[in-house]
Amino acid sequence: MKKKQYDLNFKKMVVAKGKEIGNMTAVARQHELDPKMVLRWARELNRKDLDQLEGTSIKQAKFIPTAEDYAQLQKENEKLKKLYAEQALERDILKDLLKKTNPHLRIK
């Protein structure tokens, strides 16, 4: 069974009629549509700007990283590597100190 696609103007008209009478389910049945689909259309139309809507569905803008984004990620990565190395060094120092002060405790 092929999925039926509705254009944006039809969706707007159905949602507007549903808001006008205050009953989306009744309007959906009147147009022989699934009530859940009409409620979803209403949420989408309320949530998004109408300029961002396409006739069949909502398109989300793709994130395209820039050179600045890469540079920022590299700086953050270097900072995290240094922090990890410092913590590993501190942990090793504490293990050695614990072994020297308490030789009966064997830490692996």
Q: Which residue has the higher pLDDT, 79 or 26?
A: 79
First to last CA, the chain: 63
H or E segment and range at residue 19: helix 8-21
Where do the domains of the chain lie?
8-52, 65-107
Q: Specify the pLDDT at position 20.
A: 87
- Number of H helices and number of E strands within the chain? 4, 0
Question: Rounded to whole angstroms, how far apart are CA atoms 108 and 105?
Answer: 10
Is a pLDDT exceeding 50 seen at residue 34? yes
